[in-house]
């Protein structure tokens, strides 16, 4: 079994989950409270990775990260090397790819919260930020957990976009799903079988954790 690939996948998934949780919270909150008429357009863009073939997304990311794009040029000037076929490039691509898996559970959790709880908090003297920390967040813990686990599991399992953006460099961009592909190509079925089984088990355990916790829902409102 390719433990190096496993370690890399977990490092990638953890990095992406951590960054996404910070990025997705304001976006999800905005989506759940805004009266902006173009909200559906933003929702569609956020959800694109759900339906787009990973190769299509990967292609665009590759172009955007490349030496000819403004982002790629800026990155090269700043760090001295390009973004494509690096771990950083993989992180950026995965952020986009896993965005809906973080935003959707959070937005759903925020939207099902009784809005008069926020009103009550405001009238009791709390700033919007304090209302978020003391009311919205604790009452949406389930959404936070779902977002975290789904993002993590989804990032671990991605394949097409990694191949497009990261290639197959051991220890740098060779994630566990690429390793399985490699093993099969080289007819190393025993290796592939073991890795695939560990991945299957991990995914199942993560999902079981999410659904297990969901079985005891928060009493969001005593009157609901």
Partner 1 sequence: MTLTARIVKRVSPSFSIDVDFRASGGITILFGASGSGKSTILRCIAGLMTPDAGRITLDDTVLYDHDARVNAPPRHRRVGMVFQHLALFPHLTVAANIDYGLSGVPAAERDRRRTETAGMFGIDGFLDRKPDRLSGGERQRVALARTLVTEPSLLLLDEPLTALDFDIQSRIIDDLRRWNQQRRIPVLYVTHSHREVYALGEQVVVVGHGRVLATGVPHAVLEHPTHPLVASLAGFENLLPGQVLARDEVGGTMHVRVGTSGPELEVPIADVPGGSWVTIGIRAGDILIASEPPHGLSALNIIEASLTASRREGPTIVAEMVTATGTRLVVHVTPRAFERLGLHSGGRVWLAVKTYSCRVARNDTIRGELS
Binding residues for partner 1, rule: CB under 8 A, are: 114, 116-117, 119-127, 130, 134-135, 138-139, 218-223
For residue 139, the minimal CB distance to partner 1 (Å) is 6
Cβ pair 114, 221 in contact under 8 A: yes
What is the Cα–Cα distance from 102 to 30, expressed in whole angstroms? 14
Q: Are 174 and 11 in contact (CB under 8 A)?
A: no
Nearer to partner 1, 187 or 224 (CB): 224
Closest approach, Cβ 42 to partner 1, in A, equals 24
Nearer to partner 1, 187 or 223 (CB): 223
Q: Give the shortest CB-129-to-partner 1 separation in angstroms.
A: 11
Burial of 195 from C-beta contacts in 10 A (0-12 / 13-18 / 19+): buried
Return the number of the residue (108 or 117) whose C-beta is nearest partner 1. 117
Both tokens of 6, joined, read 């496993």
Question: What tokens does 24 get?
Answer: 């997705």
Shorter beta-carbon distance to partner 1: residue 137 or 172 = 137
The total number of residues shown for the chain amounts to 224
Q: Report the alpha-carbon distance of residue 213 to residue 140 in Å, rounded.
A: 13
Give the nearest distance from C-beta 118 to partner 1 in angstroms: 9
């Amino acid at each position: 079994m390719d433990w190096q690939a496993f370690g890399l996948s977990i490092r990638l998934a953890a990095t992406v989950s951590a960054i996404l949780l910070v990025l997705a919270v304001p976006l999800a909150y905005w989506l759940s409270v805004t009266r902006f008429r173009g909200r559906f357009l933003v929702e569609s863009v956020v959800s694109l990775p759900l339906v787009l073939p990973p190769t299509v997304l990967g292609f665009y990311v590759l172009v955007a990260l490349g030496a000819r794009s403004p982002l790629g040029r800026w990155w090269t000037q700043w760090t001295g090397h390009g973004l494509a076929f690096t771990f950083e490039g993989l992180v950026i691509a995965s952020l986009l790819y896993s965005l809906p898996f973080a935003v959707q559970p959070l937005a759903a959790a925020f939207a099902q919260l009784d809005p008069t709880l926020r009103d009550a908090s405001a009238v009791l003297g709390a700033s919007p930020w304090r209302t978020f920390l003391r009311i919205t967040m604790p009452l949406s813990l389930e959404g936070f957990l779902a977002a975290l686990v789904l993002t993590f599991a989804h990032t671990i399992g991605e394949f097409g976009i990694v191949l497009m953006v990261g290639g197959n460099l051991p220890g740098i961009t060779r994630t566990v799903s690429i390793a399985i592909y490699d093993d099969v190509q080289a007819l190393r079925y025993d290796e592939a079988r073991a890795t695939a089984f560990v991945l299957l088990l991990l995914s199942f355990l993560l999902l079981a954790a999410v659904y297990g916790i969901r079985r005891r829902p928060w009493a969001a409102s005593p009157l609901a």
